[in-house]
Amino acid sequence: MDRNLSFYALFYVGSLLLLRICGIIAKIILARAITPFEYGIIMLIVITLPPIFQLGTNFCFFDILGHAGEGRKYFGFSLVYGVITTCLVGLILFAFPAQICNFLNIPVDMWPFLFSALIVVLLSVTVSVDIMGLVRGEKNHTFAVAITTAPGVLRLLLIFLVVSILGIMSFDVIFIFYALPPLLVLLMIAIWKGKEIIGAILPIQIPSRKILIFGFSVYVIGIWVTLCQNLNKIVISHDLGIEFQAFFDVSLTLAQIITFFSSAIYMISVPESTGTDNKSLLLNRPGGLGDIGRLLFAMSMFCVLLLFFYAEDLIELLFSADYAPAGDYIILIAIGYVVIFIQQFIAYVNVSFHEKSTKPFVLITAISLLIFPFFSHVLIGYFGFLGAYLAFIIILVIYCLATIYVSQDIEPLRVLFHRVVYLMISSAAVFLLLSAIDLPLIPGIAASTVLFCGMIFATRYLDVSIFRDLIGTTKKE
């Protein structure tokens, strides 16, 4: 049965939510089994460093391969490029192990084990991302989602088996099982789709200038938040130590539910915007992109309120009291994620409808990424651990304002802020409730959810018909 674009957008969203939930639960099990120092090492080697190196090993080839018209013919080149650049990363790591370990504040005597695992993880995810780009370009969305989701689900199952069922508390064993899923998923892909993948490798064709510009434009806007987070972790590890990097990671993990909404906007806005020439109709029709954006924006604001009142309770419940410092400044991360939601809604709609927007968006993204680690280093020097959070939110606000400034038009901003006063009233009602009554965690979340949902519909910030539109069926165009 044919599925329309809305179905696949919601399918991506649901899969992303599953991936986040599995990731959070796996981290919770991990945090309760090992020390913050050991947790920090695993997060650094398995979660933080591979995405940073992927900026070079995958570059913009995922977005190039996602081009439905031309992407497939560049699969062989992207695969060869990824393997070669991964080997170069390995040579650098093994050539300067002591210097790299000292910079990251990790034990020098562990470098053969840690760096070997890092290369295996990096090679596995690099090749998997190329394959995912290939099937995405062929509009095989189900398989693309499976490649995305499988490592996180498998990681949770393995960690639950090792720690919770078998009771193994050895750091080396836990590390291996936490790092193993990308390789296992790649092997399963090779068994399942090996013949098709091999058939797509040849002939190896170098991408044209036009397709490189296309891929790079989409790529550079999408990497901003993730790269800033990972750069900040490295700066924290260098300036304050590995344990503070672990605290910052817990803050990000708890607040990451808000990034789910900005990821949803990315998945929905780009295909919807590029599929029509009528921007005004797309943004303003009932149940359209404007209403969906405002719904996700409201959910982001609500999550900020919950973190403001319950961050410490959630950290102690989900992780342990050892990670309490992660809750001190988490509200800054949460607010920053709301700001980036606004920025991405404006940016993706503008890039989709205005070709001239591409160059300035790429420019401000590149400049802010170059400045950020030095800015974070300076603020950490002045404010300590707080400086990492301040640097993150300040650069987010500047990036958002710069996006608004260089946009070809600000209609997406106007649509997103339509009736925003009623959203503020709804948020204020929840704030007053939780301030006036000291509700425990679960009853507090339940009561505030009922109040907030009731208020945003009672004030007509959103129309109740949006739910009918979200689940309704439409013909595939």
Assess if residue 114 is contained within a domain: yes
Pair (203, 230) in one structural domain: no
Assess if residue 214 is contained within a domain: no
- The string of pLDDT tens digits covering residues 258-282 is 777 777 776 666 556 654 566 677 6
Pair (181, 318) in one structural domain: no
Pair (473, 378) in one structural domain: yes
- The string of pLDDT tens digits covering residues 207-235 is 888 778 777 877 877 778 888 888 888 88
- Which range, of 327-331, 380-384, 446-450, averages the lowest pLDDT? 327-331
Residue 45: DSSP 8-state: I
- The string of pLDDT tens digits covering residues 312-323 is 888 877 777 777
Assess if residue 156 is contained within a domain: yes
Nearest to 423 by CA among 460, 378, 386, 468: 460
Q: Which amino acid is at 403?
A: T
Pair (308, 232) in one structural domain: yes
Domain boundary among 149, 176, 209: 209
Q: Would you state the pLDDT for residue 311?
A: 84
Pair (174, 303) in one structural domain: no
Contacts for 319 with CB less than 8 Å, ≥ 6 apart: 27, 28, 31, 32, 250, 326
Contacts for 90 with CB less than 8 Å, ≥ 6 apart: 115, 119
Average pLDDT over residues 336-362: 79
Q: What is the residue range of 37's domain?
A: 1-209
- Which range, of 132-141, 346-355, 438-447, averages the lowest pLDDT? 346-355
The residue assigned the tokens 């080839």 is 61
Q: Taking the model in full, what pTM does it have?
A: 0.72
Assess if residue 318 is contained within a domain: yes
Pair (229, 115) in one structural domain: no
Assess if residue 218 is contained within a domain: no
Pair (44, 2) in one structural domain: yes
Give the rounded percent of residues in the chain with a pLDDT score beyond 90: 30
- Which range, of 77-86, 156-165, 336-345, averages the lowest pLDDT? 336-345
Assess if residue 217 is contained within a domain: no
- The string of pLDDT tens digits covering residues 43-99 is 999 988 998 899 889 988 887 887 766 778 899 999 999 999 999 999 999 999 999
- Which range, of 123-137, 179-193, 206-220, 297-311, averages the lowest pLDDT? 206-220
The residue assigned the tokens 């990670």 is 323
- The Cα–Cα gap between 199 and 96 comes to 38
Pair (303, 195) in one structural domain: no
Domain boundary among 160, 179, 209: 209
The per-residue DSSP string of 245-281 comes to: HHHHHHHHHHHTHHHHHHHHHHHHHHHHHHT-S-HHH
Higher pLDDT, 446 or 286: 446
Assess if residue 215 is contained within a domain: no
Number of domains in the chain: 2
Cβ–Cβ < 8 Å for 126, 86:
yes
Assess if residue 125 is contained within a domain: yes
Query: pLDDT category, 137, cuts 50, 70, 90?
Result: confident
Pair (202, 252) in one structural domain: no
Higher pLDDT, 194 or 465: 194
Question: Looking at the predicted structure, is the pLDDT value of residue 156 above 80?
Answer: yes
Pair (205, 230) in one structural domain: no
Pair (332, 370) in one structural domain: yes
Give the rounded percent of residues in the chain with a pLDDT score beyond 70: 88
Pair (201, 274) in one structural domain: no
- The Cα–Cα gap between 85 and 65 comes to 18
- The string of pLDDT tens digits covering residues 100-129 is 988 888 888 888 999 999 999 999 999 999
Domain boundary among 209, 243, 259: 209
- The string of pLDDT tens digits covering residues 381-405 is 999 889 999 999 999 999 999 988 8
Query: pLDDT category, 287, cuts 50, 70, 90?
Result: low
